[in-house]
Copies of this chain bind each other. A is one copy, B any other.
Amino acid sequence: MPRADGTTRDHLIESTRELLWERGYTATSPRAILDRAGAGQGSMYHHFTGKEDLAAAAMRDTAQQLLARTETDLAGDGSALERLKAYLLRQREVLRGCPVGRMTGDAEVLGSAVLQHVVAATFDELRGRIVAVICDGMDNDEFDGSVQPAELADTVLAVVQGGYVLARAAGDPAPFDRAVRGAVAMLEHTRKKDVR
């Protein structure tokens, strides 16, 4: 009876995670995954139904880690503005792009019900967390009353995702850094004016 350690399975997932990030889904072949994991074809088709199934498992793992890291930025006990700044200004491997966001450039991913769902669900989670932080700030009168949490949350998410796009287009992290700093500056302007 097999021990449920799943080492080979884990290696497959790990290799897939790396390759998906580096090359995307369509451009990642089972062959490449197997080579990197040091496994044969049989292992893959034993543990998973095929490429799509393996990719889904890998993406769920990646999403989990990404959400955990975001949670760290957003869960501090500072003001809402400080927590949003922490999220925006966090160190990132800019030129590699967002391991989840980049999947949206791959038509095959969006055409796969499972894969598309993982991507959509990840951003839904992210959005929910950011909305919550902004609402916190509203409750504490940190922001101007005109601020719409749902809109601002997507703006924040978009600046990060778009920053990756600009940086990769330029082959230089600078556009990302400018974009998030510009966003932080605008956020400061949405603070509640002192009424005295």
Chain A, interface size category, equals: 35 or more
Per DSSP, are chain A's interface residues mostly helix, strand or loop, or mixed?
helix
Residue A14 interfacial (CB < 8 Å): no
- Contact yes or no, B107 A169, CB < 8 A: no
Q: Which residues of B sit under 8 angstroms from A185, Cβ to Cβ?
A: 146-148, 151-152, 190
Copies per complex of this chain: 2
Q: Does A161 contact B (CB under 8 A)?
A: yes
Quick check: is A40 within 8 A (CB to CB) of the other chain? no
**A37 CB–B CB distance under 8 Å:** no
In chain A, positions 89-128 with a C-beta closer than 8 Å to chain B are: 97, 100-108, 110, 116, 119-120, 122-124, 127
Residues of B within 8 A of A13 (CB): none
Contacts of A12 in B (CB 8 A): none
Q: In the complex where A116-B171, A161-B162, A186-B187 touch, is A181 in contact with B108 (Cβ < 8 A)?
A: no
The 10 closest A-B pairs by CB, nearest first: A105-B105, A162-B162, A158-B162, A155-B182, A151-B182, A161-B162, A158-B179, A154-B178, A186-B186, A154-B179
